[in-house]
Amino acid sequence: MCLSSTGLLAVGLIIPEAVTGYYLNRAGFETADPRLVRVVSLAAQKFISDIANDALQHCRMKGSVQTARRPGKQDKRYTLTMDDLSAALSDHGINVKKPVYFT
């Protein structure tokens, strides 16, 4: 995999590099190369995007859509529920359970 510095700089990240660096340091990973932190930020952003997209697909399969009426236009709005998010996370091997006091 070829990682050019101009290609990494052109990508806009949602997760700030400082946040990624903080959690990498907390996990015991130290690096002086900022490109490595940027690659981990990009991988985390991709993972979160995949989870959100999978949750949206689960919501669409259930058919739970709300229509917001505006003059001359109808918008479809989806609500992210814990059930959809749990199903998407379980597809990726992450099990989420509600605490006892929520059941």
pLDDT at 55 over 50: yes
Q: In which element (H, E) is residue 73 found?
A: strand 73-77
Angstrom distance (rounded) from CA 55 to CA 78: 10
DSSP 8-class letter at 101: G
CA distance 77 to 70: 12
pTM over 0.75: no
pLDDT band at residue 101 using 50, 70 and 90 as cut-offs: confident
CATH superfamily of 11-102: Histone, subunit A (1.10.20.10)
pLDDT value of residue 27: 95
Residue 100 has pLDDT above 70, yes or no: yes
How is the chain split into domains, by residue range? 11-102
